[in-house]
Amino acid sequence: MEQVRRRDRKPMSSEIYGKISHSTLWVLVMFLTLISYFAETRPFISSSFGIYLVGLLDGTLMTISVASAIFYLRSKIDK
Sign of CA dihedral 17, 23, 26, 31: negative
Q: In this structure, is residue 4 part of a structural domain?
A: no
Q: What predicted TM-score, i.e. pTM, was given to this entire model? A: 0.62
Q: What is the DSSP letter of 31?
A: H
Summarised one tens digit per residue, pLDDT across range 51-62 is 999 999 999 989
- Print the domain residue range for 41: 14-78
Instruction: Indicate whether 35 belongs to any domain.
Output: yes
The count of structural domains within the chain is 1
In a domain, residue 49? The reply is yes
Q: Is residue 8 part of a domain?
A: no
For residue range 27-56, list pLDDT tens digits in order. 888 888 888 888 998 999 999 999 999 999
- Position 54 in a domain: yes
Q: Does residue 67 sit within a domain?
A: yes
Does residue 57 fall inside a structural domain?
Answer: yes
Is residue 29, in this structure, part of any structural domain at all? yes
